[in-house]
Structure 1
């Protein structure tokens, strides 16, 4: 004879962690990072005092120590922003001024302006040094981020030539 056993599932009422990874709190990490960045403690002492892994503390402290408040926000993947938000606002202002004084700006002008702006501000950029212009992808995404620049069609821009170098140096002198 067979004995029928009911197939029951046992629910775990209290989960107990088996690993000791990330057993520290964010508050303790913030205190340790502040102590290291201010110079009150070294990495080893802060890690022992606040019970935090030293390698994690080093990584977090270096992010705080070497990141300027106006750094570009990191993006997902291997792409990174070239300009900060305030620098992009400056570029938008230059472009609007160019439209106001010289009646239009082409995508090529925007690409040249972006390259020149990055060079003048000694920014690390992936733009082409041979053509001295930003890439097509960059200008497309820039215009997506700043849709107020898309009020005219591209044909209208192409009909009106702009002396880019003269305008850029004029804007640099007036600032």
Structure 2
């Protein structure tokens, strides 16, 4: 039998609390609660550096760029663009997502040279928000939208 994960979650919680509160260092807490130091460091950093409104982590190596509230804001912007203008293309949504992430100083994997979110991101965004898919893609291409003017117009309204 191996000695892997021979510690309890209760001991881990106590050790993480001691480290985060500053009562103990990693080494002392690991020895006191009989927990691997590297595991304690990883768990404590998740608690210490995760903000309350952080995006939920996903399985695998992908991570969400926007929180649920931020995605609702994006959906609201897109619906407003559709209301005030003729239509919104996937490219417009990609530009909007990039600009929103930049304006909010979010860490994002978007392409800074093209200043747009990726195709995969917009596809998954539209899957998460099916109410934006009520029109065919051809209708979205009828009239181009001056995205920068609209975005700054919306920022002034809110």
Fold shared by both chains (TM-score > 0.5): yes
Per-residue CA shift, 1:27-67, capped at 9, x if unaligned? Answer: 11111101110111112222222222222111111111111
Q: Which ranges of structure 2 fall in alignment gaps of 5 or more residues?
A: none
The residue aligned with 1:64 is 47
TM-score scaled by structure 1? 0.83
Per-residue CA shift, 1:97-151, capped at 9, x if unaligned? Answer: 1112223211111011011111111222222222211121211111011101001
Q: CA deviation at 1:168?
A: 0.3
Moved >3 Å (runs of 4+)? none
Aligned-residue CA RMSD (Å): 1.5
Residues of 1 paired with 2:119 and 2:45: CA distance? 34
TM-score scaled by structure 2? 0.92
Structure 1 range deviating more: 25-34 or 94-103: 94-103
From 66, 70, 80, the equivalent of 1:97 is 80
Aligned residues: 158
Larger radius of gyration: 1
The residue aligned with 2:157 is 174
- Residue 73 (structure 1) aligned with residue 56 (structure 2): yes
